[in-house]
Amino acid sequence: MNSGIEVLSPASYLQSSNWLLQESLGTRWTRQENKLFESALVVYDKDTPDRWLKVASLIPSKTVNDVIKQYRELEEDVSVIESGFIPVSVYTADSFTLEWVNNQGF
């Protein structure tokens, strides 16, 4: 995993956009914002120029620093999972049952 780590330095290409570098007031991410973030990471890979600016532009109310912080946290989470510190749930075929409920009285 460490071979793909990139240098996160938005200041080098955003010298005149200081407001984009500040963290937004609402640093909590919603489920929708996380989905937008994940989709943006697929569109803008590590070789994309101005990647963090482009990712942030797709997520209303999030700044470049917000998306960089979120990316770092994602990397940390993946690293912890891959190191085996968090057990991965194993589901068997009989773990779930599906019951059909007929609400129409038939």
Report pLDDT digits (tens) over 17-59. Answer: 554 555 555 578 999 999 999 999 999 999 999 999 999 999 9
| In a domain? residue 104 | no
The pair of structure tokens assigned to 85 is 């510190």
Total domains, the chain: 1
What pLDDT was estimated at residue 4? Answer: 55
What pLDDT was estimated at residue 47? Answer: 95
| In a domain? residue 100 | no
| In a domain? residue 55 | yes
Helix pair angle (31-43, 64-82), 10° resolution = 90
| In a domain? residue 103 | no
Domain that includes residue 69, residue range: 2-95
Residue in 58, 53, 45 with CA at minimum distance from that of residue 18: 53
User: Rounded to an integer, what distance in angstroms lies between the CA atom of residue 47 and that of residue 10?
Assistant: 14
Residue in 79, 56, 85, 81 with CA at minimum distance from that of residue 3: 79
Identify whether the C-beta of residue 25 lies closer than 8 Å to the C-beta of residue 63. Answer: no
| In a domain? residue 89 | yes
User: Rounded to an integer, what distance in angstroms lies between the CA atom of residue 39 and that of residue 11?
Assistant: 24
| In a domain? residue 15 | yes
| 86 alpha-carbon distance from chain centroid | 19
User: Which position has the higher pLDDT, 41 or 87?
Assistant: 41
| In a domain? residue 9 | yes
| In a domain? residue 19 | yes
Q: What is the CATH number of the domain that holds 87?
A: 1.10.10.60
